[in-house]
Amino acid sequence: MDWKHLFLSFEGRISRKPFWLSLLALIIIEWILFIVLSLIFGMSMMGGMDPGMDPEAVTSAAMTAMIPMWILLFLFFYPALAIYTKRWHDHGKDGVWSFIMFIPIIGAIWLIVECGFLRGTEGPNLYGDDPLA
């Protein structure tokens, strides 16, 4: 499976290993870009803790960087949703199940357990052939 299909397509199935590796790649790239944006906009994770730092300057830098950070977050939501959908397909379920993550606490746990740890349907299902076959 190529990267374009993995991150941009909502069709097919993937097993647990590509699921975890692709999510890890997304998280690493996203954090690198967040750090770059933080450096560009002069933000610091510890900016509010520095006694010499003006609180208004910290707030101003955070507000200036908010829009690009939200745009980046939404850009990474699409490939993550594609990965989750393919993993749900491996369980014989529709990709709409990905939105279970928005149910506080229980939804995220359910998504991680079912998509990350449980084996998918053995053999072909409605969404394609078994990725482990």
pLDDT tens column, 4-20? 999 999 999 999 999 99
Length of the chain in residues, anyone?
A: 133
Q: 103 is written with which tokens? A: 């149910």
Dist. CA 15–CA 18, nearest whole Å: 6
pTM here is 0.84
Quick one: pLDDT band at residue 79, thresholds 50, 70, 90?
very high
Q: Is 43 left (phi over 0), alpha (psi -120 to 50) or beta?
A: beta
Q: Which residues contact 51 (CB under 8 A, 6 or more apart)?
A: none
Tell me the torsion sign for CA atoms 9, 30, 100, 106: positive
- Model confidence pLDDT, tens digit, residues 34-67: 888 878 876 665 555 566 667 777 677 777 778 8
Tell me the torsion sign for CA atoms 109, 13, 19, 26: negative
Of 1, 27, 21, 9, nearest in space to 89 by CA: 9
